[in-house]
Amino acid sequence: MVWDVSFTCDICGKAKGEANHWWMAAVGSVPCFEADGIDDLLREQRFTLMRWSRADSQNPDMYHLCGQGCAMQAMERFMTEGSLESR
């Protein structure tokens, strides 16, 4: 399967081009993290921001962010609503 799909920003809907200043965010547990010693309740309170990685971008739990502005907006959404889903 070809994974070179085009992504869209989960905040503003912009399509990803060749330029790569994109970021990813996740709420709660992240598969690439060791979660030892952190209890489940705490895990849901976590907002994780990371640089774009081609491998992790395919993870359905990741939110795709087109840049700093949308990353800030995602964090703000998490802080006010506890989730990155738009209402």
Give the residue among 28, 4, 31, 2 at the shortest CA–CA distance from 18: 4
Of residues 50, 52, 49, 48, the one with CA closest to residue 18? 52
32 or 72: CB nearest Zn ion = 72
Q: Are 82 and 30 in contact (CB under 8 A)?
A: no
Tokens describing residue 39 = 């209890």
Which of 24, 26, 30, 66: binder of Zn ion (CB under 5 A)? 66
The reply on whether position 71 binds Zn ion by CB under 5 A is no
Binding mask 12-51 for Zn ion (x = CB under 5 A): x-x-------------------------------------
In terms of CB distance, is 11 or 26 closer to Zn ion? 11
* Residue closer to Zn ion, measured from CB, 1 or 80: 80
User: How far out from the chain centre does Cα 8 lie?
Assistant: 12
Binding site for Zn ion (CB under 5 A): 9, 11-12, 14, 66, 70
